[in-house]
């Protein structure tokens, strides 16, 4: 059994000794050493965030906090690690530590355990960085030996002196001026924690796929942070055999310069390479991933000549192609590829359905039946293009370049129907080229490759079928014991890397077309077809700001209220509106039709909110101090679930604001200058918070803090855990007092709207 360790500060991890590390007790009950407390940043005057529980607590000065005597007594029970220098109670630090590695508790322990093992040690890599900004650039490096200080997972994965590639997947972080510096691990976790959920989930899929039992997927070591710009990079193993470098000079592919005999230069070699490419793509599909735009440099050879998929090459190529297509769309010009080498290095074989997804055009316009969905079949199309490039070389590259030059620009309406003809003409040219270059011995291969180019992904053969056809070139079916291998595809999930969050164009000049919810859904365009997608959303050319300035945004009126509208809330697929007419109306967000009207208030309804608790609720408060709690279930009921009443006082004007904490409490801002907390479990009044000198006009909840704004011109902050006051903003503001009418809190930002038309934004 390991011996017990002495108690230590949660910030600097130094054992408490009563001299250099004196424990001070915070109002929340946790302790930290006095020196660290003095260095913690103060988001508000005389307020710090507890390093243990992240709760905002009052702290005017660390020395004003009580010492943790019990913790000191317990610490003195442990032997001094340096007996030559016993601690002196009155001894001060001669050289106080000003820079400490700070590991903040900003995320859950589950999040930390999930991602900590994917952190590549800071001193593990030697990287050659170029002048590019890094988003569409792949960097090279190598692992520099081995260190015993690395974690167990790093020591297991990083063998030393291996070549690696790096691609940026996380944005920069701005370091604050605090003397507490984030640790290396915390920097990476902070970037991960700030990612969108879908972006982080996609990164997790890639990391999981690299650890699968399939050996055809390149190894991913994890995430590494660049110290100067705080960018986070995905680190992958880099193999020495470049697929593109091997075949870039094969102008005629495996057919060779002498095409008169219609045979391949090396049938066995082509079959082995083709089979391994199919196995690599199949391994990707088994993990629920697909690209839809395979390219020659997606693949590489390892030291034994086996083909692998390189995730970093796939990400960079997808970003480049998306940028090139987006630029062609923005400038409305042809897709430019200056030379054959340029085409090979920048050209990914983008499947038609993916191309139409990028062009924001419905593939049903091709009159090819139902809408073609992006899926595993998209990789089959790209796989066939890679095989054709290997087989016939430059002639197919020229056909592909001509195909993209014609299809990438957005066509005019009168030429939109030419897509079908262009595509079928291109497929026929590919078929003719194969017929002239390959003899009848290769008819099955020719037919299956042309079948892979069908426009409908559902009618394309599976990857295993392509693998079997290529295998028959060297092993006949009657001698092949592996001919009946089962199809290995993960049908439970399909994630497209090309359309994923990690390939979004962060630096592109033209933004992705925004989609509007509030539009005239019943209005049609000039062609007579409603410009509505499957989700009922209307697409507007250009971004939202350009649409507003250009007058392209359509609006519809929702009519039903008889007096001023005082509040709006969205939730459960509905829009809720409150009004002076003593009613709450419910509108559908699908077609903006009127669904229901809540009737029962005897006074003006001043505020409304949607609460997604054990059951979805709509909560409304009126000027008479009555709170109605309605159930949000279709069909809607006529009676509220519960009615709550404030103590009536003719001097005050009832409810003015509502907020919900997510922890089972409803907060009401009232005309009696108070804030009341109501339990949504038993619908009782839990506590009353006083401090404002006038009507509490607005409430907001964010990160464990309740913000209240008042007509007295101040904003007060309250701790949600015990409803104690934290601090007051605007109390010492010079000049005339202007009432606070509304406020919004998001992350570290607070925006306050005043009666005089002034908006004040603060970074907390």
Residue 358 has pLDDT above 50, yes or no: yes
Full set of structural domains in the chain with CATH: 23-98 (no CATH), 109-237 (3.30.200.20), 241-249+264-503 (1.10.510.10), 513-556 (no CATH)
- Residues 204-221 as b/e (b if ≥16 CB within 10 A, e otherwise) read ebbbebbeeebebbbbbb
Within 8 A by CB and 6+ apart from 464, the residues are 278, 282, 485, 487, 488
Q: Is 551 helix (H, G, I), strand (E, B) or coil?
A: coil
Share of the chain above pLDDT 90, in %: 16
Cα–chain-centroid distance for residue 712? 40
Helix and strand totals (H; E) in the chain: 17, 37
Residue 700 binned pLDDT confidence (cut-offs 50, 70, 90): very high
Task: Report the distance separating Cα 708 and Cα 701, nearest Å.
Answer: 9
Residue 627 has pLDDT above 90, yes or no: yes
- Give the pTM: 0.54
Highest mean pLDDT among 17-21, 361-365, 562-566: 562-566
pLDDT in tens, 34-65: 888 888 888 777 888 888 887 888 888 888 89
Asked if residues 87 and 167 have their Cβ atoms less than 8 Å apart, the reply is no
Share of the chain above pLDDT 70, in %: 73
Indicate the range of 132-136, 564-568, 575-579, 654-658 predicted with least confidence: 132-136
Provide the token pair at 517. Answer: 């919810």
197 vs 249, more confident: 197
Q: Which of 554, 550, 548, 589 is nearest to 568 (CA)?
A: 589
Asked if residues 367 and 450 have their Cβ atoms less than 8 Å apart, the reply is no
Asked if residues 477 and 485 have their Cβ atoms less than 8 Å apart, the reply is no
pLDDT of residue 143: 82
How high is the mean pLDDT of the chain?
76
User: According to the 3-state scheme, what is the secondary structure of 666-724?
Assistant: EEEEECCCEEEEEECCCCCEEEEEECCCCCEEEEEEECCEEEEEECCCCEEEEECCCCC
Residue 89 has pLDDT above 70, yes or no: no
pLDDT of residue 221: 87
Query: How many alpha carbons lie under 13 Å from residue 321 in its C-beta half-sphere?
Result: 29
Interstrand relation of 515-516 and 538-539 (parallel, antiparallel or unpaired): antiparallel
Residue 87 binned pLDDT confidence (cut-offs 50, 70, 90): very low
Q: Which of 212, 235, 216 is nearest to 225 (CA)?
A: 235
Residue 81 has pLDDT above 80, yes or no: no
pLDDT in tens, 267-309: 788 888 889 999 889 888 888 888 888 888 888 888 788 888 8
Task: Report the distance separating Cα 64 and Cα 72, nearest Å.
Answer: 17
Q: H/E element holding 358?
A: helix 352-358
Task: Report the distance separating Cα 157 and Cα 274, nearest Å.
Answer: 29
Residue 574 has pLDDT above 50, yes or no: yes
The DSSP annotation for 113-170 comes to HHHGGGBPPGGGEEEE--SS-STT--EEEEE----TTS-HHHHHH--SS-EEEEEEEE
pLDDT of residue 75: 81
């Amino acid at each position: 059994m390991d011996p017990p360790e002495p108690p230590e500060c949660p910030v600097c991890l130094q054992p408490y000794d009563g001299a250099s590390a004196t424990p001070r007790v915070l109002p929340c009950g946790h302790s930290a050493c006095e020196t660290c407390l003095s260095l913690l940043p103060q988001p508000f005057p005389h307020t710090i965030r507890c390093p243990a529980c992240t709760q905002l607590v009052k702290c005017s000065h660390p020395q004003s906090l009580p010492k943790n005597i019990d913790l000191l007594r317990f610490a003195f029970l442990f032997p001094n690690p340096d007996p030559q220098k016993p601690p002196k109670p009155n001894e001060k630090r001669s050289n106080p530590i000003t820079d400490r590695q700070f590991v903040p508790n900003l995320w859950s322990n589950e999040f930390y355990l999930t991602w900590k093992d994917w952190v590549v040690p800071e001193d593990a890599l030697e990287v050659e960085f170029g002048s590019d900004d890094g988003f569409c650039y792949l960097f090279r490096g190598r692992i520099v030996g081995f260190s015993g200080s690395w974690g167990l997972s790093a020591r297991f994965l990083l063998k030393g002196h291996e070549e690696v590639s790096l691609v940026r997947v996380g944005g920069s972080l701005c370091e604050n001026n605090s003397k507490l510096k984030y640790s290396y691990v915390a920097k990476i976790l902070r970037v991960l924690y700030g990612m969108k959920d879908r972006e982080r989930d996609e990164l997790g899929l890639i990391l999981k796929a690299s650890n699968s039992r399939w050996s055809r997927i390149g190894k991913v070591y994890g995430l590494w942070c660049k110290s100067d710009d705080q960018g986070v990079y995905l680190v992958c193993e880099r193999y020495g055999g470049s697929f593109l470098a091997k075949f870039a000079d094969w102008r005629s592919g495996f057919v060779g310069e002498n095409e008169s005999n219609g045979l391949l230069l090396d049938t066995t070699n082509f079959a082995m390479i083709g089979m391994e490419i199919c196995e690599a793509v199949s391994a990707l599909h088994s993990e629920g991933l697909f690209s839809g735009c395979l390219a020659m440099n997606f693949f590489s050879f390892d030291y034994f000549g086996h083909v692998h998929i390189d995730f970093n090459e796939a990400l960079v190529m997808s970003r480049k192609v998306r940028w090139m297509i987006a630029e062609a769309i923005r400038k409305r010009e042809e897709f430019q590829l200056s030379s054959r080498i340029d085409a090979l290095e920048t050209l990914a074989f983008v499947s038609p359905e993916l191309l139409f997804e990028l062009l924001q055009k419905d593939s049903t316009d091709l009159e090819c039946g139902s809408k073609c969905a992006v899926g595993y079949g998209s990789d089959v199309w790209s796989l066939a293009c890679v095989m054709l490039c290997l087989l016939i070389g430059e002639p197919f590259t020229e056909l592909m370049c001509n195909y993209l030059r014609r299809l990438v620009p957005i066509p005019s309406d009168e030429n939109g129907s030419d897509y079908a003809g262009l595509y079928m003409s291109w497929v026929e040219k590919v078929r003719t080229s194969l017929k002239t270059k390959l003899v009848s011995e290769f008819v099955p291969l020719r037919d299956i490759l042309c079948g892979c180019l069908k426009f409908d992904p559902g009618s394309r053969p599976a990857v295993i079928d392509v693998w079997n056809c290529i295998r028959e070139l060297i092993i006949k079916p009657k001698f092949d014991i592996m001919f009946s291998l089962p199809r290995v595809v993960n049908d439970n999930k399909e994630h497209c890397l090309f359309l994923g969050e990690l390939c979004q164009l962060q630096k592109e000049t033209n933004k992705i077309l925004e989609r509007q919810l509030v539009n005239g859904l019943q209005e049609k365009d000039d062609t007579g077809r409603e410009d509505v997608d499957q989700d009922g959303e209307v697409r507007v050319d250009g971004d939202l700001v350009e649409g507003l300035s250009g007058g392209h945004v359509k609006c519809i009126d929702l009519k039903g209220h008889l007096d001023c509208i005082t509040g709006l809330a969205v939730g459960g697929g509905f829009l809720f509106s409150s009004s002076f007419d003593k009613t709450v109306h419910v509108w559908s967000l699908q077609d903006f039709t009127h669904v229901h009207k809540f009737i029962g208030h005897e006074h003006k309804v001043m505020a409304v909110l949607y609460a997604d608790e054990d059951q979805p609720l709509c909560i409304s408060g009126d000027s008479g101090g009555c709170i109605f709690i309605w159930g949000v279930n279709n069909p809607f009921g006529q009676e509220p679930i519960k009615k709550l009443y404030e103590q009536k006082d003719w001097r005050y004007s009832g409810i003015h604001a509502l907020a919900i904490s997510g922890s089972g409490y409803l907060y009401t801002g009232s005309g009696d200058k108070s804030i009341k907390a109501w339990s949504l479990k038993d619908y009782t009044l839990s506590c009353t918070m006083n401090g404002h000198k006038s009507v509490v006009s607005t409430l907001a909840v964010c990160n464990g803090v309740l913000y209240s704004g008042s007509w007295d011109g101040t904003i007060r902050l309250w701790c949600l855990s015990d409803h104690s006051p934290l601090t007051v903003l605007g109390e010492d503001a010079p000049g005339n007092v202007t009432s606070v009418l509304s406020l919004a809190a998001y992350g570290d930002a607070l925006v306050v709207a005043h009666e005089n038309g002034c908006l004040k934004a603060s970074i907390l």
